[in-house]
A and B are shown apart, each in its own frame.
Chain A
Amino acid sequence: MTVELGHIALIIALCLACIQAVVPMVGSFSGYTHWMRVGHSMAVGQFVFVALSFACLTAAFIQDDFSVAYVANNSNTLLPLQFKISAVWGAHEGSLLLWALILSGWSTAVALCSGKLPLILSARVLSVLGAISVGFALFLLLTSNPFDRILPIPPLEGGDLNPLLQDFGLIVHPPMLYMGYVGFSVPFAFAIAALIGGQFDSAWARWSRPWINIAWVFLTIGISLGSWWAYYELGWGGWWFWDPVENASFMPWLAGTALMHSIAATEKRGVFRSWTLLLAILTFSLSLLGTFLVRSGILTSVHAFASDPERGIFILIFLGIVVGGSLLLFALRGPTMRSVTTYSGWSRETMLLINNVFLVSSMAMILIGTLYPLLADVLDMGKISVGPPYFNIFFVPLMSGLMICLGFAGFTRWKNTEGRALLHKGVIPSIVSLVMAFVLPMFMVDKLSWSNYSLTAVVTLLLVLWVVTMSLEDLWLKSRGKLSSLRGLSGSYWGMLVAHIGLAVCALGVGLSTAYDAQTDLRMLPGDKTELGGYQFQFVGVERVQGPNFIAYRGNVEVKSGGELIVRLSPEKRNYTSGGQVMTEADIDGQLHRDLYVSLGEPLGNQAWAIRFQVKPFVRCIWLGGLLIGLGGLLAALDKRYRRRRLRKGADESSGGLVFE
């Protein structure tokens, strides 16, 4: 009964979404205030019903209702409770329902926080969001219904959740990621509303900015979590594979970052209007494209959901309408978006433009690399795959260029900056960076006894130190050397500082772990030892253990440094009882300056095992950096100017800023 209730709730949500999509928009043209207000209540109503639907599906999982096909395919009586709940979004239909839930959630947030927006604008924004909700609800109900039953004989036992997904990572990564993906529908809606209305000024930028920031923060954290999860869950130490599904999440992030920076210029100086609008459309389009790529079966990938061309066609049509329609609108309304001010030379505007060129180029390059195999297949050029080298060869120089420009970020002034003054600011930091970049690796070689002096490490350190020293110099100058003036710096500034340093930390992790990664696969008998990266690993033995829904071989490896025992690692090889799937569960000792990573390969007979040992220096910095970047975005979003202005005595100061409850 709950299942049918969930199904009906979804249908009701669809109806509400239809009303939300049409009525406010019509009202905005005809001036009917009541109609325009409808959008707000519909958004909230839609959220209630989608949430109800989601709750019903979750209940089906918790109650082990295997008459529901989706539950039977993805759950099992032996599955621990937290994974039963996270299994709700573990496969296509359920994750789509999560999309719909989050979309209605964002719409509700817009509805509740748009008190200070002109009604025409908020009505149109909610209309656009409603239209997108209609698309997803239709997609769910017509092609991907999570509430389909298996009749007449329901199975007594479910098929189980893929063991790779039975993990804390699955509980947090997709929701975080979807909050980001879906969150960019809000700036998208704002852009469409602006194009329709022709109103596009600083106020618009100020209203839409917090939404961009917050969505971006979620996406940043979502991607970082995904990478970290792949690292420890897939069992082999990789953290980025340029896999199509990874790329599908990274491209919106790059476009979103460009958007965040572009809108800063639009708000402050009224420039880059076309760029900002285009980027807002582009970011969300990439989210939708990513959804398409992952769910249509068009690309084979380790992440991709099961394929169904019917679903692919639906998403493609949806994509065509949403993206094609918005780009057409953009092309037609473009001329009304002229910028009215100029900038020159090494102004902040120029730097932001360069920054965005780097970001958008990276995104385009990744898009081409991801779609090329498909194009080749369509043109009958054979079955090809594009290897990681293609992506790295472009991405590394582009990001390096970005980081060089990044250093100057804080010092640039709007409208114009003295080129020479800029260079002056860079003198000390560049000297410091150069020296340290060449010197530090020598210590790394000594202390951690690697045998190579690495050029990659030098370049990495150079870029990282450059960004950090320049940022600190800027902070020093802005606070005029006084600790007390730090309080006077805005949230936006702190956000920028933290995010940029976060990027540097992330780059540090990427560069150094690539440069100094030590790895070896060995055949080991109990008692065998090996030396790697300055550590001594000893394989003690393997024992059989029983888990809640698996049986495992658990290895015992002792790690020593200079004769002293540092840690015991217990990697496992699990055999899941219901699906019979085998999984490698690595054991990691993680410290900021290095990870010790051991995974069991396979039994070779006579007590011998193939084992992989890895020492990965500074790899943790990658995700720490990611979190810092997210934190930076959060600080920027919480900037006071977005919050309700304090009412001055006798005068109403609130002039259009967003209200945060």
Chain B
Amino acid sequence: MKVVGGLFLNRLALFLPLVLFAALTIVLLLGLDKDPSELPSVLVGEPFPSFSLPALHDADKTLDERDVIGEVVLVNIWATWCFACRIEHAMLNQLAEQGVKVIGLNYKDNREAAITWLNERGDPYAFSVFDERGRLGIDLGVYGAPETYLLDATGTIRHRRVGVVDDRVWNNEFRDLYAQLMAVQR
């Protein structure tokens, strides 16, 4: 009896580290899922926030949410201080050429630098909103740049991407939804 008992306890004890590790892995996996850029934004399914901000290129012109709502669009948060945005920019140019409407939200940036930046790299945006203080960013719950929101024709936010939108991201996260929304729009 003693022999059997001792052996069993021994065996059990040896598996304990593995069991603990498995539990840990589950916690970490769930934690990754909770990562903000994975989780849909609080605002997904909600209308785009109202705002009143100047246009980037024309300081006298004031834009509000009505300029954003009405078509299926991408709203892209960008800034000159954001290096990942440079990597993303080529993709945005490509999307614009393919006929995707992209609206820029220039976030916490310097106006002249931003305009120069677009002149140097090409401007994929139908227009850019100049959010110097990040006001609209607050309402959207923006973490920083780059971020991209996909809006449908009624102005409802349908998807949010925190981070660079490249080929892979576009194909996995945006392309099908975009096509769907465009079909509905017609």
A residues within 8 Å of B by Cβ? Answer: 69, 72-73, 148, 150-153, 155, 159, 274, 278, 281-282, 285, 292, 296-298, 307-309, 312-313, 316, 319-320, 323-324, 327-328, 330-331, 334-335, 371, 374-375, 377-378, 579
Contacts and interface: CB of A to CB of B under 8 A. Distances in A.
A331 B37 contact: no
B23 to A, nearest CB: 10
Contacts of A328: 18
Given A297-B35, A319-B28, A323-B21, 5 more contacts: A282-B17, A298-B35, A312-B32, A319-B25, A324-B18
A361 to B, nearest CB: 14
B51 interface: no
Interface string B9-45: 0110011011001101101111110110110000000
Sorted nearest first, the 3 A-B pairs with minimum C-beta distance are A334-B14, A327-B18, A378-B30
A588 B121 CA distance: 47
Residue of B17, B22, B90 with highest tally of chain A CB at under 10 A:
B17
Given A297-B35, A316-B25, A330 B14 contact: yes
Contacts of A327: 17-18, 21
Contact of B35 (A72, A151, A312, A330): A312
7 contacts: A153-B121, A319-B25, A324-B22, A327-B18, A331-B18, A334-B10, A377-B31
Interface of B: 7, 10-11, 14-15, 17-18, 21-22, 24-25, 27-32, 34-35, 37-38, 81, 83, 86-87, 90, 120-121, 163
B90 A152 contact: yes
A159 B90 contact: no
A72 B38 CA distance: 27
Nearest to A324: B21
A566 B121 CA distance: 57
A342 to B, nearest CB: 15
A282 B24 CA distance: 13
Contacts of A297: 35, 37
A307 B25 CA distance: 18
A335 B35 contact: no
Nearest to A337: B14
A49 B7 CA distance: 49
Main secondary structure on chain A at its contact with chain B?
A: helix
B32 A72 contact: no
A298 B86 contact: no
Contact of A69 (B15, B22, B87): B87
A371 B90 contact: no
Contacts of A155: 83, 86
A325 B81 CA distance: 44
A409 to B, nearest CB: 28
B119 to A, nearest CB: 11
A150 B86 contact: yes
Contacts of A375: 27, 31
A327 B23 CA distance: 13
A316 B28 contact: yes
A69 B83 contact: yes
A377 B29 contact: no
Given A309-B32, A309-B38, A72 B83 contact: yes
Contacts of A150: 86-87
B21 A378 contact: no
A315 to B, nearest CB: 9
Contacts of B28: 292, 298, 316, 319, 374
Contact of B27 (A274, A278, A374): A374
A307 B10 contact: no
B11 A334 contact: yes
B82 to A, nearest CB: 9
A153 B25 contact: no
Contacts of B87: 69, 148, 150
B34 A377 contact: yes
Contacts of B34: 377-378
Contacts of A292: 28
Nearest to A364: B20
A375 B28 CA distance: 8
A298 B11 contact: no
Contacts of A285: 21
Given A151-B90, A159-B83, A316 B29 contact: yes
A378 B10 contact: no
A185 B163 CA distance: 33
Nearest to B7: A335
B32 A298 contact: yes
